Structure 1
Amino acid sequence: MDHYMRIQAAINYVEQHLTEELPITEIAAQAHFSAFHFQRLFQAICGFGVQEYVRKRRLSEAAILLKKTGMNILDIAITYQYQSQEAFTRAFEKHFGMTPGKFRKSDPPIVYQTKMDFLTFRLKNKGEMKMNKPTIIMLDEMRIMGRSHKTSLHDEKYYEEIPGFYQGFGLNQDFMRIPDKAAPDMSYGISCDFENDGSFSFVVGEAVNSFPEAVPEGFVTMTLPAGKYAEFKVDGPVDQVQNTRRYIYGTWLPSSNYERKEGPDFEVTDVCNSRYPDQMKMSIYIPLKS
């Protein structure tokens, strides 16, 4: 079963349980992905998150009940997992621009969230494999030392925060405190410690030949595992870096014959030959199952 069919299985599960509690771990399990990876794939393909989709579907079904039945608003709210009529009203008004009561009495043109069909995405993406294809390579184990920052997939928060992490690392000259460098002038950015709620750690640092006996306060060490990786080269503005990340998870990985292996993914920036934000020379590495 390919990625799109697996995600569709999760969507089918959501549709069958819209009136019940829907933990992200249970949704992701239907697609046989970790909760974090499922959320990353879904967001990259759709442009919005899983929980947002569930919320839109519930509100859309609630709107249909408001129009087609005489159910009172509190019962509809509870049916779609809102703990009170007030909470439901706030969510409904924020999404549709009017209260449930006003909606019921009028006939406004609104856009309902219908059930998603990921098989349509599969057909669409077959025609969009236009970015640079990766090179499949084997990498040796690498030791990294740097600083770690917590960020999140939600609302693509990490796209806004990661450049700041890099800038802070440079402005504070943290790189000067890293001993025994294995690849001077090459900066590593590593996504790791993935959590079910969509949060993860991003480590900015450099490769070292060995770890120091005493790690400076505020620094972390980690080892990138040896194995098979897909290498995506980027040579352009910072927007191209972000678009490549979206392409990897939204188009290439779901459409390829490869399966992502659990563990960190990372990027390596050629610091000397890069100029932020107009010209970035970087390689992005995604771990693959053998």
Structure 2
Amino acid sequence: MQEQVKNDYYERIEKAVNFMEDNLMKKLTIEMISEKASFSKFHFIRVFTAMTGETAGSYLRRRRISRSSKQLINTNHSILNIAFDYQFESQEAYTRSFKKVYNTSPGKYRKLNNNQRAFGRARLTVERLSHLKSNVTMKPKIIEIEKRNFIGMNVLTSLANNKIPQLWRDFMPRKKEIENNINTGCYEIHPFDTGFKMENFTEDMKFEKWAAVEVNEIKNIPKELNSLTIEGGKYAVFEHKGTMSNIQMSFDYAYGTWLSNSEYEIDRRASFERYGEQYFGPEHPESITELWIPIK
């Protein structure tokens, strides 16, 4: 019975989402949307937020921004007209919302080449709703840490030439050589690049990744391994449950939904994933991967 109710809620929320998606350029009210889901306004607000981690208004605004970004690229329409087309009351309101999603202004976004433009914010589907319910913590833990020391291997990689799987194949046989491992698991670390600019990003751009373990102090570093110290600070910590094949949906939620609706913003420090005692391998459906996102 409970499973039937859950599936019914998924289907009703999907109807509401489809209605919003079909009418992104029209004026919509919460009453109109909740009616499509066959919920009362009050119940719809509670159910939608519980199932997606954001309000219907926030979802609608992000999807309008995502869809409007295509008009910025593919048409010569003015930013003001695009703002009005997607139901923003002014160019200023549109620009504020656009920056919240893409971290740049509509004008600057329009000038980027195709490889430099950020991907659009994903449409909600039953698959994504199910993922949010079962495969990722929707409210992260906020944890403040002191600086941490690591020993491991690092590599320069890119989206076009992914060297991360080989990095782990090289590192894992060497892990036992690290004498002062404090056994908090394995870490995949992405140090913050002070020279990085989103407008310059392409699939061929190289960035640094580490496969490492945490150590109590940096000493006796095995040959061909290196050390890394990351700054302390505040992190939002999400748990992804399941295989690595769908971890991108957890990242999409953490960065694309939770962060943009939170009081926080990304801090200029290292991000990392932790594979602890509840991580049973990349294909195990019960594996837990922690996603640590630096915030301020």
Letter in 2 for 1:176: K
- 1:254 pairs with one of 243, 257, 260: 260
2:165 counterpart of 1:174? no
Secondary structure, in 3 states, of the residue corresponding to 1:247? helix
Where do residues 3-152 of structure 1 align in structure 2 (5 Å cutoff)?
51-52=113-114, 131-133=136-138, 134-152=140-158
Structure 1 partner of 2:236:
230
The 5 Å alignment of 1:184-199 reads: 186-194=185-193, 195-196=196-197, 197=201, 198-199=205-206
Query: What aligned pairs does 1:266-281 form with structure 2 within 5 A after superposition?
Result: 266-270=272-276, 273-279=279-285, 280-281=287-288
Q: How many residues align?
A: 191
Instruction: Give unpaired runs (5+ residues) of structure 1.
Output: 18-30, 40-49, 56-115
Deviations 1:216-254 (A, max 9, x none): 332221112221110011221112333322332233323
Preserved CA contact (<8 Å) 1:187 1:271: no
Aligned position for 1:65 = none
Tell whether the 8 Å contact from 2:148 to 2:230 is kept in structure 1 after alignment: yes
Change (3 A) 1:259 1:10: farther
Gapped regions of structure 2 (runs ≥ 5): 1-57, 77-97, 105-111
Q: Is the 8 A contact 1:193 1:200 kept in 2?
A: no
Shift of 1:176: 1.6
RMSD, aligned CA: 4.1
SS at match of 2:176: helix
1:129-157 per-position Cα deviation (integer Å, ceiling 9, x unaligned): 75422111222221111000111245xx5
Percent pairwise identity:
22
State the TM-score, normalizing by the size of structure 2. 0.51
Deviations 1:87-124 (A, max 9, x none): xxxxxxxxxxxxxxxxxxxxxxxxxxxxx9x7xx5997
Letter of the 1:162 counterpart: I
Secondary structure in structure 1 of the residue aligned to 2:164: helix
TM-score, reference length from structure 1: 0.52
Shift in alpha-carbon separation, 1:8–1:205, aligned structure 2, 3 A: same
Q: d(CA) in 2 for partners of 1:54 and 1:147?
A: 29
Larger CA deviation: 243-252 vs 224-233: 243-252
Change (3 A) 1:14 1:241: closer
